[in-house]
Amino acid sequence: MERRPPRGHRNVPHTADVRIEAWAPDRESCVAEAVSALVDTFVDATGVTPETEAETEHRVPPGDDPDLLVGVLDEVIFRLDTEGAVPLDTEVRAAGDGGLLVRWRVADTGAVEAVGAVPKAVSLHELRFGPDSTGWSCAVTLDV
C-alpha cells in the first residue's frame, strides 16, 4: 500500500459529480486542504499570486465537525459565485467557542485557468470528516 504524505488532497472519480478527499495532522489543516482540493477541481492557479489587498475572513459558527467543514466549503462556493474570488492560500484556526476562523488570500477568477466544472454546492451524501489513524481526513462530494 502506498504511503501518503502527512498533508494533502486528491480528486476521486465519481459518476456525475466531483469527489474530493483531504487529510492532515489536525482538524484545521484538513479543512484548509479540503479548500485546496475544491479549488483544484475547477481551476489551475499555477504561478498565480494572491492579490495583495484581497485577503478575506469568515467565521463559521460552532457545530459538529462535518458541519464546520461544509460551512467553510459552502462559503468558498458562495464567494466564488458572488465575488469571483478564488482562494489560493487558506488559514484555518479554531475559535474559542467551537467554531472556526478562516482567512483566505484570493485571486480573481480571471487570473486563473478554468480546468473543470465550477462546484455549485456541497453534498451531504457520504460526507465524512473526522480523526483517523494518522490525523484527520475528509471525503466530500461536490455538486457541479
Q: Which domains does the chain have, with CATH numbers?
A: 8-143 (3.55.10.10)
List the alpha helices (DSSP H) in the chain.
Answer: 27-40, 65-83
Q: Which set of grid coordinates corresponds to residue 114?
A: 478554468
Query: What per-residue confidence (pLDDT) applies to 14?
Result: 67
Quick: pLDDT tens for 90-101. Answer: 999 999 999 999
Where the chain has pLDDT below 50, the residues are 1
Nearest to 31 by CA among 106, 93, 117, 124: 93
- Is the CA virtual torsion 31, 9, 143, 131 positive or negative? negative
* DSSP conformational letter for 70: H
What's the pTM? 0.92
Instruction: Check: CB of residue 73 under 8 Å from CB of residue 38.
Output: yes
Instruction: Check: CB of residue 49 under 8 Å from CB of residue 99.
Output: no
Quick: pLDDT tens for 100-126. Answer: 999 999 999 999 999 988 999 999 999
